[in-house]
Amino acid sequence: MYEIFEHTADLGIRVCAPSADELFADAAQGLFAVMVGNMAAVRTVEEVAFQLDGDNVEELLHDWLSELLYTFYTRRLVLAEFRVKLSPTGLSATARGEPLDPRRHEIGGEVKAITWHGLKVEHNANQWQAEVIVDV
């Protein structure tokens, strides 16, 4: 589950999930929800694989979202379904979506970057939580 919140001239994404894997998947959905207004219309016809190295969960979240943003702008892919597997040395993931079609996809806010400001990932009892600010 994710929610979008206002942050000065930027936007924030707050995520809660029962596992770190789901937290990263939900954060990715939140990122794309900022950029595309009608995510329910995105067809999952193309798959992209991701592999990131790292052992710091905050750095991995930043790098994961940055990689997704890079994929959106360079490959013009709108991704809507995410499967993420974290390990002690990084993450592997697959994302499914389709090429951006301005006739079908409602372009929302332009995200310029994933910021380090206020980025946090926490694990309490049975829940993972994260907050990330995106530069719009």
Q: What is the pLDDT of residues 53-111, one digit of tens each?
A: 999 999 999 999 999 999 999 999 999 999 999 999 999 999 999 999 999 999 887 89
pLDDT of res. 2: 79
Are 47 and 85 within 8 A, CB to CB?
no
User: Is 2-135 assigned to CATH 3.55.10.10?
Assistant: yes
Amino acid identity for residue 106 in this structure: E
The pLDDT of residue 8 is 66
Can you give the residue ranges of every domain in the chain?
A: 2-135
- Of residues 55, 117, 65, 116, the one with CA closest to residue 88: 55
Is the whole-model pTM more than 0.85? yes
pLDDT band (50, 70, 90) for residue 4: confident
Residue 32 has phi, psi (to 5 degrees) of: -70, -30
